[in-house]
Amino acid sequence: MTILQVSAQLPEPEFIMDKSRELSIAGTMSADITLTITEKNGSTRIRRFAMSTKSFPEGVEKRYIKFLSPPDVKGTAMLIIDNLKTADEMWIYLPALKKTRRIVSSEKGKSFMNSEFTNADMSSPPVSDFVHKHLPQSGSNNQFVIESIPVDEDKEDEYDYSKKISYIDMDDYQVHRMEIYNFDNNISKIIEIKEFHDLPGGKFIVSEMLSSNLITNRKSEIKMTNIVEGAKVDDSVFSIQSLER
């Protein structure tokens, strides 16, 4: 059987990416998160923040993040709005400046709080931002292997990479690994999903993931604890005004 025949028997890559995104939209919940940044020399910095998420009509998911420690980032807050079909929206409040500003598209590929994750890694980008295709090994070892290339130069600038390869479990649509390529077509970063937290209806959230920068040899790990499903969070929390509270 040829590669083309195998690929033709697989679900469309857009369906797979959309299904994975849909199942990882958690709905209403809260959690505590530890971000550990490991430098090339092995030294570490730890940042802690609280996160609340809530689902709204039209497939909108809103996420509120408030940093608790260390002192240099305490009080920093972010509001992230994941839209189903349109571009995500992000705002950040910087207590030192007593100012809230919108994170523009060109900043989504920039570092999230000086870690190896980007601002875009904290959201669920629309599937339509990319052209997706199965790679030859997709369908073997019980996983889909899908290449995602930004649809145009503007999206390349927004995400700051030339392509992403995702390894997705065929049974539950969980993404276990992502390889990020720079504009020299070399792998610059690998994100490994270490742990999932299962939710009702086959849904799940990523509760632990590791981002390894192959250029700088820095690593960053996000670990989620004290997960409360169905947490009661008032709609007013997910507003620009709430960031400065």
Query: How much is the pTM?
Result: 0.90
pLDDT values of the chain reduced to their tens digit, one per residue, 245 residues? 444 444 558 999 999 999 998 888 767 889 999 999 999 999 999 999 999 998 887 778 899 999 999 999 999 999 999 887 777 899 999 999 999 999 988 888 899 999 999 998 988 888 999 999 999 999 999 999 999 999 999 999 999 999 999 999 999 999 999 999 999 999 999 999 999 998 888 889 899 999 999 999 999 999 999 999 888 888 889 999 999 88
- Read off the tokens for 17: 């990416």
H-state helical runs in 13-94:
13-23
Alpha-carbon distance of 197 to 97, in angstroms, equals 36
Tokens of 59: 């497939």
Q: What is the residue whose two structure tokens read 């690998």?
A: 190
Cis peptide leading into residue 70 (ω within 30°)? yes
Q: Nearest-CA neighbor of 205 among 30, 72, 14?
A: 30
Q: Quick one: 74 exposed, middle or buried, by C-beta within 10 A (0-12, 13-18, 19+)?
A: middle
Q: Give which of 169, 173, 172, 175 is closest to 143, Cα–Cα.
A: 169
